[in-house]
Chain A
Amino acid sequence: MQDIHDPSPEFTRFLEWQTRTAVRRAARFGAEVRAPRAAARFAKIAAVVVASVLAGASAVVAAEHIQEGRELRLHLETNRIQLELAERRVERAERERVRVAGLRDEGLVGDGEFARAAGEVLEATVARDHAALERDEMVAARRMPDRAITAPVIGRRDFVAEHLMLDIEHASGRVDRLAKEAERVAALAGMGAVSLIERERSEARVEEARRSLALEQAQLDLRTSFVQGAIDAETCVRQAVLLPLESRREGLAATIDRTQSELELARERYRTGLVPSRVVDALEARLEEERAELEMVEAELEFLGS
């Protein structure tokens, strides 16, 4: 039994989370670039103009440098505000998660409610970390963020890979969450509390999330191969275009199978008068749309020579 003078588990978890947040924030904001003062800014602009002219560049090129510098500063400022908002969203989500965890422990809400609160924490954290990465990239590269698969590595940091790793973390959390939800729905379906179609849809959501995760992982592998020099830029770009198309083709094939089954079931029910004809019509229209999209994706893949 807990001693009267021992901290509660909720408080311990909450303060630990605050500690993590404070440490991460210090790590990020410690490297923040402050806007230079007016005089210094003028001196920098002047230096760019003089250097450009001396190097024989035209005044247009010098003006472009200035314009880019202005845009970068504007983006840095926007990013700073986004980061602050993202931090607040994370803090709010974490407070809510702790609150819901308490309610769940008391049996007042179910696991589904807690999973949603935990999901929001993950979403908010990933969004904040993406914003922080963009800030780091702008500071390190002195240019706008570039997430192209063949973007250069800045110093020792591969920002493209870091973004992909964040996406993988996010996708992985989503798979876990949806898999748990699917288990819950399957148990309810076993008791007859939800329909089999609901169960299939819930399983389909897990499959779709797994496909997204696999796609993110494949893109990270591709990026790694490019950075290590195993493939050239042209191959890398081509593969980066093909990967999502192939994933989409796989997803559509599974969706079509499912819609086909739902349609057959709906036709049967329509014959016995359990559902109106519009349910069958809607499913037929959906199936047609999905088949058309699949044809389009296959045509694109053929064009790209896959």
Chain B
Amino acid sequence: MDEASWIDLYREELTPLYRRVSRRVGADRALAEDVTQETWLRALDAWQRDGVPKAPGAWLATVADNLVRSHFRRQGARPTQDTDALGEAAAAEPSPTGPTRAAVVHAGLARLRPDLASIVAERHFDGLTLAEIGARRGLSERAVEGRLRRARRTLARHLDPDALDALS
């Protein structure tokens, strides 16, 4: 692939990738830029070696999500150990998508089964409808709704009510 093709691919993929990351980190610009840059450079490295995958967007999404999860995990288990304090911080956050709330949400998601966590993430961060989430997994809206309810019940055991509201 020549330089121009790489740049075309970059221009096509950057904005959706950045938006996805930004939503997951509560619009923390510095963190979103770090994760996006790391994801893209890893992709470039791997794709130059092994070729561009059929669905580059999905590849990027998976790597970016993993990096975001690692970041919040590295920040420590603080949100889950001291949920009251973080719940207060989340409640004080002016933006419902602020960085502190994002930290709380990720702490909660880390307690869920991966399939439930991804449904919650798509609903909460990407704003997908129940039908859209269902279509991706071959599930009915009712089934998605049921899983979200189960996820919420699990989270209720770990998060305070303010943080839980963020996942409604």
Contacts and interface: CB of A to CB of B under 8 A. Distances in A.
A220 B11 CA distance: 35
Contact of A7 (B6, B18, B23): B18
Interface residues of B, number: 23
A19 B10 CA distance: 8
Interface string A10-46: 0110011011101110110000000000000000000
B37 A23 contact: no
Sort chain A's interface into a size bin: 10 to 19
Contact of B48 (A3, A11, A16, A23): A23
**Which one of A5, A6, A7, A11 has the highest number of Cβ atoms from chain B below 10 Å of its Cβ?**
A5
A3 B100 CA distance: 20
Nearest to B23: A5
Contact of B3 (A6, A18, A20): A20
B40 to A, nearest CB: 6
A70 B109 CA distance: 61
A15 B6 contact: no
Contacts of B7: 16, 19-20
A4 interface: yes
A164 B33 CA distance: 39
A7 B41 CA distance: 16
Contacts of B48: 22-23, 26
B10 A6 contact: no
Contact of B19 (A5, A12, A19, A23): A5
A225 interface: no
Given A19-B10, A22-B44, A4 B3 contact: no
A5 B36 CA distance: 12
A99 to B, nearest CB: 15
Contacts of A26: 48
A157 B45 CA distance: 28
Contacts of B33: 7-8, 11
Contacts of B32: 7
A22 B29 contact: no
B140 interface: no
A20 B22 CA distance: 24
A16 B19 contact: no
A111 to B, nearest CB: 26
Chain A facing B: main interface SS: helix
B25 to A, nearest CB: 10
Contacts of A8: 29, 33
Contact of B14 (A4, A12, A23, A24): A12
Contacts of B6: 19-20, 23
Interface in B24-40: 27, 29, 32-33, 36-37, 40
Nearest to A26: B48
Which 7 residue pairs spanning A and B have beta carbons closest together?
A5-B22, A7-B18, A5-B19, A4-B27, A23-B6, A19-B10, A23-B3
Given A7-B33, A15-B10, A19-B44, 20 more contacts: A3-B19, A5-B22, A5-B27, A6-B15, A6-B19, A7-B14, A7-B18, A12-B14, A15-B36, A15-B37, A16-B10, A19-B7, A19-B10, A20-B3, A20-B6, A22-B44, A22-B45, A23-B6, A26-B48, A27-B3
Interface of B: 3, 6-7, 10-11, 14-15, 18-19, 22-23, 27, 29, 32-33, 36-37, 40-41, 44-45, 48, 97
10 contacts: A3-B19, A4-B97, A5-B18, A5-B23, A6-B22, A7-B32, A11-B18, A19-B40, A23-B44, A26-B48
